[in-house]
Amino acid sequence: MTSDLLPISRIPRTGLPEHAVVVGAPERAADTAELLDGCVRVAQHREYLTFTGTWKDVPVVVASHGVGAPGAILLFQELADAGVSTILRLGTAGAMRAGIQDGSLVIAEAAIRDDGVTQQLMPPEYPAFAAPEAVLALQQAAKEAGAQHHRGVVWTRAAFQPGWLELPGAYARTGVTAIEMELSALLVLASARGLVAGGALVVDGANADELVDIEATGGYDPHRKVVADGVARGVRVALDALCLLAKEDGK
């Protein structure tokens, strides 16, 4: 007999809203869910914590996917299996271009596939691109919120170890904006499954070693007020962008 719950995240196979915001940390998912009306926790298993509720009368899912693309893509897959058609990732990232301030948003147009998992699923030539409507919705929501933001290509990288990162010259010359760990997996899965997907990333430091003196700055520290304030803004931007996308869908 088939279970009514999907095996990895333990979310229901049916009945979820079609629009979702995904975040890395379970506690961030819980904090985001507290903003929703009629919030209900629908699943909790491993790093996957999932809620439903409404934001400005739009039914939404909020779920955590943990750290790293191999685990995150399991949630993305199960959300798609459960009928979710639009997924926006709200995460944190290290700036890779001078002048991008901590706490600001980077809206991803595409991602470099160095994620450690999609290379095993799709040919390396297959692109990781955000849905244009997702990029525009995130940009509009950021403007309406007065949130400082940038658009560009991000680098999704499996390895995370400040002090060990070497910035490829081509990435520096072409203005790659930020580095994070999960978005390209979402974008590849979404395009392969016919979903709408995008991502907005809150800058929590300069993670390209050429841009920061690790010893002088005391090292990578994402637990600062400027970052927390940026995440709080970013969550609302992502939820507002979902509403804009839902209106386009006629929901």
Which CATH code of 3.40.50.720, 3.90.1150.10, 3.90.79.10, 3.40.50.1580 fits the domain covering 19-249? 3.40.50.1580
The amino acid present at 225, given as its one-letter code, is K
What's the confidence (pLDDT) of residue 69? Answer: 97
Q: Look at residues 180, 162, 62, 29 and name the one whose alpha carbon lies nearest to residue 110.
A: 180
Q: In sequence order, what are the residues at sequence separation of 6 or more whose Cβ sits closer than 8 angstroms to the Cβ of residue 150?
A: 97, 100, 104, 105, 106, 107, 177
What's the confidence (pLDDT) of residue 223? Answer: 85
pTM: predicted TM-score of the whole model, two decimal places:
0.93
What's the confidence (pLDDT) of residue 237? Answer: 98
Going 191 to 14 to 182 to 180, the CA torsion angle's sign is: positive
pLDDT along the chain (251 residues), means of 10: 88 97 98 98 98 98 97 98 98 90 96 97 96 98 96 93 69 88 98 97 74 55 90 97 91 64
Query: Tokens in use for 149?
Result: 């933001």
Q: What is the longest distance spanned by two Cα atoms in the chain? A: 59
What's the confidence (pLDDT) of residue 34? Answer: 97
Q: How far is CA 157 from CA 59, 177, 178, 180, 201, in A?
A: 32, 13, 10, 6, 14
Give the span between the Cα atoms of 146 and 140, in whole angstroms: 10
